[in-house]
Chain A
Amino acid sequence: MATTPLKRRNALVGWSFILPNFAGFAALTLAPVIVLFYVAFTSWNVFGKARWTGTANFIRMWHDASFWTALTNTLYYTSLHIPLTLSASLGLALLLNRSLRGVAFFRTAAFFPYITSMVALTYVWNMLFSPDYGPINSFLRFIGIANPPGWTTSADWSMPAVIFVGTWREMGYYMLLFLAGLQTIPAQLYEAARVDGANPWQRFLFVTLPGLRHTTFFVVVIMTIGSFKVFDLILLMTEGGPGQSTLVLSQYIYQKGFVENQFGYASAVSIVLFAICCLVTIFQYFVNRRWND
């Protein structure tokens, strides 16, 4: 196929527009990601040359109990965090998608945690969760619970505590996406449903939910990837502890790579995390396509 000068010129103009962004992306994200796939098959402590070790890192991972703990904990976090955040954000969006006095204030209030510094809010939540002097346990004792949980200092309760804070922080952001989605559902559909005698629950089930399908798909994909790579929240709240009760994959990668200087092994674990995110997204994509048909 011969390219005409005009076509070539148009292509060049197009390229020049995306170049500034792409150059940054290529140098700072794409290239390191590609190198990661090489480093994962080596033993490398940052200095000197990486030594090719083939699949040794992956075999080691298979026998690494801490890796499996981290994977299980990540799945634990994801499996609770996604449904909770999804229902909380959708609920908030439905609640705030009506003309009531001060709706802008409530929307802002719900969005606030998302724009607050992670360091500051984990600091405050940790104090609220403090087992002996924290307000949460003081309240629980006040209503008659003699032995309230130790929250972030208990191996059984640390993960629920972290999930709760994660949900609280992110629901405002997804609420905003759902609100935008809700605006696109034509009012006539609700009217027609009402004329047909649909009650509020039926209107929600047969008008709102189908109308939000694209938004929901997007939200679930972003939330899934976000949950699998949860890091800062865990590091700041519990550092993976007590014991290994909240050790998640990205923290394990950080620990192996930047604390123990085993960049080859850390890269191999990253690839597994990458593969999980890819597989789950592809699966969700196919499910979504089937619904669309």
Chain B
Amino acid sequence: MKRTFAAALGVATAITLVLAGCSSEEDLPEAKPFPTGPVTISLAGWSLSTTPEFKTLADGFKALHPNVTVELKEYDAANYDTQMTADLAAGTAPDVYVLKNLKNFTTYQDGGQLADVSDVASKLGNTVGGLSGYQVNGKSYAVPYRQDSWVLYYDKDLFDQAKVAYPDGSWTWDDYAKKAKELTTGLKAAGSTAVGTYQHSWQSTVQGFALAQTAGASLESGNFSYVKPYYNRVTDLQASGAQPNFGTVTTNKLTYQAQFGKQSAAMLPMGTWYIATLIKQRSTGDANKFNWGIAPAPQFDSSTTGTSKTPVTFGDPTGLGINPAISDGGKVTVAKEFLAYAAGEAAAKALAGIGITPANTSDAVAATFFALDGVPGDALSKFAWSKHDTKPENPVSKHTAGLQNVLNTLHSAVLSNSKGIDDAITAAQTQAKNEVLNQ
């Protein structure tokens, strides 16, 4: 009996080890000419019923190449990377998959799960933003098809009510903080319960701007002093009541969509993805119908403010990469053609048509986007949408995920007033040095 049990254990171990080890790196099969017969490639996506972009891309490509079918494989939005990792390791992942954020790009690239697509990337024009995020040692491993950037949403009706002038593109963060307080006082005087601004609980709402806008700031350096002025401003806004405090946001699970959409806050720093959501929620009644606009994100100092300059902000591209386990050469050619299409102007127009901010923001694409019903048509909104220097939220490195966790600890400690900013920075630097950067 005992021996049989041991044997069973041995077999189970062997099987698992084989399964774990079988996902070794492979070279792409040699590319063949574009097939003329029917061919199917698979594409990963998430929440297909509420995220139309994948179907838009698949349908658009089918219209150009009627013999190709792009089959969508649905994943869970919240667990996309975990599920994709498991599928890639098991060899069951689709031919083309989406890189939902830059943070996990390194894991895939370093793990040999992305084919070299430098030939596709080199043919894309300079209106495509976010390409550099996917380059390692001069080679491209994915191409971006959408590129959201962080901007400042504002509620014109609440501004009018508080008798505060609209943003004009000239704001630094100090101006923003001052206006948030003025708005709060003005709104209170007008009998409204709304506050000046809403900052969501994510670490990126503070750290993303700090890293992108501060000269010389670097996550990898392990020196985090650059976040200090940004946190001081936020804790001051919390204390003055100009924005809901972190504890209220987390314990009551406030959503930014409701805070801005239901007019509880006059301003909201958020990514451009929210434009499509807001327009949709206005039509379904999940958001009030009010006048709104977008302005460039407030800046570090006046050197980048004003509509004659290029405002600095952050945002991660969403890209497409090719699974190196793709089965034959014909499919390789089709998959590369699909990537070129997705990053190109035709797909960008189709994506802009459904309210998405594509990576390619040529004038023609911008025209399509602002022709949409419900998109604010003022000049500043157009400027904020199409002109910005968008830095990646995080550098592509094997330390990024670890450093993000360290800084998330700092974020919750400082905003909950559990730690002073100086102590928190010292603690984060020690933690980064001893636990992440030495790995």
With contact pairs A65-B434, A261-B401 given, residues A47 and B9 touching in the complex (Cβ less than 8 Å): no
Distance in Å: Cβ of A250 to nearest Cβ of chain B: 15
Give the segment of B62-70, B107-115, B153-161, B279-287 that binds chain A: B107-115
Distance in Å: Cβ of A236 to nearest Cβ of chain B: 11
From B10, which residue of chain A is reached at the shortest CB distance?
Answer: A34
Give CA–CA (A156, B107) in the complex, Å: 36
Distance in Å: Cβ of A104 to nearest Cβ of chain B: 35
With contact pairs A45-B107, A46-B85, A134-B251 given, residues A242 and B23 touching in the complex (Cβ less than 8 Å): no
Contact with A along B13-27 (1 / 0, CB 8 A): 101110011011100
Inter-subunit contact B434/A259 (CB<8 Å) = no
- Is A76 in the interface zone, CB < 8 Å from B? no
Give the segment of A24-32, A185-193, A224-232, A283-291 that binds chain B: A24-32
Inter-subunit contact A154/B17 (CB<8 Å) = no
Contact with A along B108-132 (1 / 0, CB 8 A): 1011110000000000000000000
Inter-subunit contact A155/B416 (CB<8 Å) = yes
Contact with B along A94-129 (1 / 0, CB 8 A): 000000000000000000000000000001001101
Q: Which of chain A's residues have a CB closer than 8 A to the CB of B246?
A: 153
- Is A35 in the interface zone, CB < 8 Å from B? yes
- Is A243 in the interface zone, CB < 8 Å from B? yes
Give CA–CA (A64, B362) in the complex, Å: 49
Give CA–CA (A15, B252) in the complex, Å: 53
Distance in Å: Cβ of B16 to nearest Cβ of chain A: 4
With contact pairs A34-B13, A47-B89, A155-B419 given, residues A131 and B431 touching in the complex (Cβ less than 8 Å): no
Inter-subunit contact B253/A31 (CB<8 Å) = no
- Is B40 in the interface zone, CB < 8 Å from A? no
- Is A241 in the interface zone, CB < 8 Å from B? yes
- Is B245 in the interface zone, CB < 8 Å from A? yes
Query: Which residues of B from 231 to 251 have beta carbons under 8 Å from A?
Result: 245-248, 250-251
Inter-subunit contact A35/B17 (CB<8 Å) = yes
Q: Which of chain A's residues have a CB closer than 8 A to the CB of B248?
A: 130-133
With contact pairs A47-B88, A150-B416 given, residues A38 and B405 touching in the complex (Cβ less than 8 Å): no
Inter-subunit contact B401/A153 (CB<8 Å) = no
Which of A26, A32, A151, A241 lies at the interface centre, i.e. has the most chain B CB atoms within 10 A of its CB? A241
Distance in Å: Cβ of A201 to nearest Cβ of chain B: 42
Give CA–CA (A238, B248) in the complex, Å: 13
- Is A73 in the interface zone, CB < 8 Å from B? no
Give CA–CA (A132, B82) in the complex, Å: 36
Residue from B112, B402, B416 within 8 A of A47 (CB atoms):
B112
Inter-subunit contact B21/A242 (CB<8 Å) = no
- Is A197 in the interface zone, CB < 8 Å from B? no
Give chain B's interface residues, CB within 8 Å of chain A. 1, 8-9, 12-13, 15-17, 20-21, 23-25, 82, 85, 88-89, 107-108, 110-113, 245-248, 250-253, 401-402, 405, 408-410, 412-413, 415-419, 424, 430-431, 434-435, 439
Given contacts A48-B23, A126-B251, A258-B82, 12 further A-B contacts (CB under 8 A): A11-B1, A34-B9, A50-B20, A64-B434, A66-B431, A130-B248, A150-B247, A152-B251, A153-B250, A155-B419, A242-B413, A260-B405
The 3 residue pairs across chains A and B that have the minimum distance between CB atoms: A47-B111, A153-B247, A243-B413
Q: Please, could you name 15 A-B residue pairs with CB atoms under 8 Å apart, sorted by A?
A: A31-B12, A31-B16, A35-B16, A46-B107, A48-B112, A49-B24, A126-B250, A130-B252, A131-B247, A131-B248, A152-B247, A152-B251, A155-B418, A244-B409, A259-B401
